[in-house]
Amino acid sequence: MKHLTLPILFLLLLAQPIVAQFKIGKLKLDDLVKKENLEAVNTLFDTDSEVAKLKAEQLKKDTSFYNYIFSQGNRASFFANRDSQESLLYTLGSDYTTDGETVEPEVYEKIFELNRTAEFSIYIHPEIATYKFLEAIDLFTNAESFSQISLDSVFDIRQMLTMDTVSIEEKYAIGKTMANLAITIHAEGKYNLSEGLMKNTINYFKEEIGNECIGLASLYNNYAVILQSQGKYTSAEEYFNKAANLLEKHDKENSLSHAIMTSNLALYYNEIGQAEEAESSIAKAMTMAGDELRAKGRDNVSFKINQGLIYYSSGKYNEAESIFNEVLELKRKRMARNQTDYANVENYLASVLMESDKLDQVQSLLEDALKIFAQKYNTQHPAYIKTNHNLGKFHLYQGNYIEAQNILTEVNQAYDQYFGTNHPDYLRSLEDLAVIDWKQGNYSSANERFKQVISSNLDLVEENFAAMSEYEKGQYWAQIRPSILKFYNYACERGMEEPALLTEMYNIQLKTKGILFSASTKMREEILSSDNGGLKTLYLNWQRAKEDLLLYYTYSKTQLEEMKIDLPSAEQKANQLEKELSKVSSDFASANKLPSATLQDIKSSLAPTDVAIEVIGFPTFKNSFTSDKTYAFLIADPNAQHPTLALINNGNELDGKYAKGYQNMVRLKVDNPILYEKYWQVIDKKLGGVKNVHLSLDGIYFQVNISALRKPDQSFVSDGMDFHLYSSTRDLLNQSSSSKNKKADFFGYPTYGNQGLLVSLPGTKAEIETISQITRSKGYQVGTYMQGNASEDNFKKISSPSLLHVATHGFFLPEDNTSSEKVLGIEVSQAKANPLLRSGLMLANAENAMQSSDYEHSNETSKTDNGILTAYEVLTLNLKDTDLVVLSACETGLGEIKSGEGVYGLQRAFQVAGAESVIMSLWKVSDEATKNLMTYFYGEWMNGKSKNDAFISAQKRLRQDFPEPYYWGAFVLLN
């Protein structure tokens, strides 16, 4: 039951508009209205008048009464402005008297009274609420009959009024009514209509009241909620930001309204997979609200529910379960057992219990919630449908396929009606139906449904990536990828009977392998080749922001506090600049287009004796994802219509005990024939007559050199065929010509320091002297940096050499090897979170940053140029025209492996920076063997062979000097 991929189950449509809390005093209307209206309204709000005092007294009574009523309502999401300086929502419960005479309320006062009555009815009798809002509109329009007032007429309200004769109070009243009506429509599940009306209301406020009106903050927030509920994430974030900016501009940065908006933003982050941002935002929201939250009040309960949802999504099931049980108990004590918000929390709790394998109460919780929703709404309401979706998933996980299919078919049709076929909820339910078809043997239907789900999800990726930073893309892609992995399981199971599924699987892999790396690289290339000066300035600002971050990461938490550095704000700034780069113009939107390469394209690029292989590691799926792992090898043969499939089902053993066996084989220089059997034999049997294998790696295969595995007959795999490694086999189609410049930079033999913490590498001096002479003799302009000149500062000054060669110590620290306070000068929590901070190269004076365990007092850690070049810093280098980076250093091919993306370490960083190819090492190897390999390679390459052929020849020649694969198998070339 673990590893379920449930939709986020919060229901924004059940959110409650919040009635304003008022402060009595002279209003600062210039915060709200156009300046030209000020004189007209000042008299009205003169608190010295007897009428105003009576209004104020009545206002206190009304506010207290309605705040009590709404404290029993649903969680916060939509919000009205709560301060009388922000809102003109003052109203009289009845006529009032002055000097013995009854005073008839003004029209706008009646309108606000109708609004309050309607707001109270939204989640009890939405039809009555709609009627009251339309009645309020009728008081403005003076239509001949109430039947003439409709939702359509609200959209065109200004066409029905002579706006020049409408007072500022009446303008605000009608705008408030339109906004509340939009919320009501949304609560009824009419999302498109709600979106249109809220957008109209925003435009109305801007034109009739003012572009900087504080009332727009609530409208922006509410519009963002509506957009998010329809899966329009990019636009939703834009309006959350607009709301925050306006609140800040009006000095309401830490108000309760801002807290509600921040809580909504937390749910937005949660839905697109940004768990850390979600947890941080909900905590910030609760801190903002502070004393304004009563311990058991509605808003506090609402925030706690949101916090529970975020805990659930991040896998903190015990915390989420505790919160939801606490809320249910509180509502039972309040006799709210049959309210819709109670049903909501039952639904959430059921999801947590499913994920925790606590199944006894799940069905009863969901069925009770459905009963409440059916009574309060109807069976076509989105709240009912989402809960029914959970019940259908429960039956699916239990293997009750017929029951699950009946429920999920109904759910899928309802989602289609409300959202259309591109909404995430529709696609999730369609995916569930595809799984049911698969398990019941309805393969034709399963094929079509999987195809639609994946196609639509990839369309959403292209749409949403354009406005995301790389980090955000990664979090969002993590939400989408499980759908593809389910299909991979299905295709592998059915591939023998339907080989066309394997073609589809190969094509999807071509589109998505390294999707985050590809987007980053393309965006960077577009920017560097642009003639747009403003864009390049923005890019440089982003680079500086990243450099600032690296410096801040060297500080301890104490140092950050002492220097008053807000690290989250600095990270947000860099993130925002990157997003602006992504969406700065339509030209750069193309950088987020997915690759169009197909299997047929790959086959056309192959010689008759070549094959291309995509290695794909993925969790095994049954009725849900399990902890088991499968490796699939899709073999593209130019002579076959569809790929050939080879499967290894014990992927966990390959990643675990056999990986350790491989490391021991290398370290001890001994044979271990079982490793060939486990890692390659099943594939080798399908490669008869093949001369060249073009291989795209995944998972543990990044750390295993297949060509150096010894077969039972004592030959090596590479004796029968040559291996060419790629990030993706689609790179076979993008083989670029050599760089036009003939410039080579060589770094090596650094002077690390005099503490003896790093072993000197005299062989690197001879290596650089030899190969720099070879390149110089071929007409290259050579820059040589050794000893003190092999500094981090000089390294960062390089600009697109055709060749960059680095001969020094490299490092990668696994996350579990970061127990000290700092990791090579980087604060440990930052190093753990980012593998690019745990991988790098040692350059001149590196020992100065290593020698002191007391990093609090080390001057070196206050500089980014401290002799330790991290992969994080490599990202900002300009290697746009660099054909090859040679990392002639220990373990430069290591890093954190991310399935489907590759290795997050030096190799990725240099490729993102622009390098076409990278030579790197998988383990520590002798100085002499490395020098010989590099000398042989450069001799072959500079005499006309391709990089791949020269590298393969060099390895074979090195075998004559050092027969053990420990020596000649340590380095790999990745294109």
| Residue 577, token pair as written in the block | 């600049």
Distance from C-alpha of 936 to C-alpha of 939, rounded to nearest angstrom: 5
Reduced to 3 states, what is the DSSP secondary structure of residue 617? strand
| Residue 630, token pair as written in the block | 């499968």
677 and 777 part of one domain: no
Asked if the structure places residue 99 within a domain, the reply is yes
- Boundary (domain end) residue, out of 170, 185, 216: 216
Stated pTM of the model: 0.73
Write the secondary structure of 669-700 as one string of H (helix), E (strand) and C (coil).
CCCCCHHHHHHCHHHHCCCCCCCEEEEECCHH
Give the model's pLDDT for residue 297. Answer: 57
Give the model's pLDDT for residue 673. Answer: 81
Give the model's pLDDT for residue 507. Answer: 94
788 and 867 part of one domain: yes
Tokens 């994430």 correspond to 233
Q: Which domain holds residue 679?
A: 599-732
Asked if the structure places residue 140 within a domain, the reply is yes
Tens digit of pLDDT for each residue in 198-210?
888 888 888 877 7
- Boundary (domain end) residue, out of 545, 566, 592: 592
Give the model's pLDDT for residue 860. Answer: 39
- Boundary (domain end) residue, out of 563, 592, 621: 592
798 and 885 part of one domain: yes
849 and 929 part of one domain: yes
620 and 584 part of one domain: no
> Are 73 and 122 spatial neighbours (Cβ–Cβ below 8 Å)?
no
b/e for 457-491, b at 16 or more Cβ within 10 A? bbebbebbbbbbbbbbbbbbbebbbbbbbbbbbbb
Tokens 């071929």 correspond to 778
b/e for 717-746, b at 16 or more Cβ within 10 A? bbebbbbbbbbbbbbbbeeeeebeeebbbb
Tokens 């903050």 correspond to 217
| Residue 19, token pair as written in the block | 């009635």
32 and 97 part of one domain: yes
Asked if the structure places residue 246 within a domain, the reply is no
Give the model's pLDDT for residue 450. Answer: 95
> Are 25 and 647 spatial neighbours (Cβ–Cβ below 8 Å)?
no
* CATH number, domain containing residue 775: 3.40.50
**Residue positions counted in the chain:** 975
Tokens 């190269």 correspond to 841
CA–CA distance from 914 to each of 539, 581, 589 (Å)? 15, 17, 19
Q: Which residues contact 162 (CB under 8 A, 6 or more apart)?
A: none
Asked if the structure places residue 964 within a domain, the reply is no
Give the model's pLDDT for residue 13. Answer: 24
46 and 188 part of one domain: yes
Asked if the structure places residue 489 within a domain, the reply is no
For 266, list phi and psi in degrees, rounded to 5: -60, -40
718 and 663 part of one domain: yes
Task: Count the domains in the chain.
Answer: 4
Asked if the structure places residue 497 within a domain, the reply is no
Residue 709: left (phi > 0), alpha (psi -120 to 50), or beta? beta
- Enclosing H/E stretch for 907: helix 906-912
Give the residues across from 115 on adjacent strands: none
> Quick one: DSSP state of residue 832?
H
Give the model's pLDDT for residue 50. Answer: 54
Give the model's pLDDT for residue 614. Answer: 94
| Residue 755, token pair as written in the block | 């503490």
930 and 809 part of one domain: yes
Residues of the chain with confidence (pLDDT) below 50: 1-47, 51-52, 55-98, 143-150, 585-586, 852-863, 895, 901
Tens digit of pLDDT for each residue in 23-35?
222 223 233 333 3
Give the model's pLDDT for residue 206. Answer: 84
Give the residues across from 726 on adjacent strands: 696
807 and 902 part of one domain: yes
Torsion angle of C-alpha atoms 491, 495, 499, 505, degrees rounded to 10: 30
| Residue 701, token pair as written in the block | 């295969």
588 and 617 part of one domain: no
763 and 704 part of one domain: no
Strands (E), 825-975: 826-827, 839-842, 868-870, 884-887, 895-898, 902-905, 917-921, 971-974
Asked if the structure places residue 605 within a domain, the reply is yes
CA–CA distance from 437 to each of 397, 430, 434 (Å)? 14, 10, 5
Tens digit of pLDDT for each residue in 616-650?
999 999 888 888 999 999 999 999 999 999 999 99
Asked if the structure places residue 448 within a domain, the reply is no
DSSP string of 9-23? ---GGG-B-------
- Helix 233-249 to helix 256-271 angle (10° resolution) is 160
Alpha helices in 272-316 (DSSP H): 275-289, 298-313
Torsion angle of C-alpha atoms 667, 669, 672, 675, degrees rounded to 10: 50
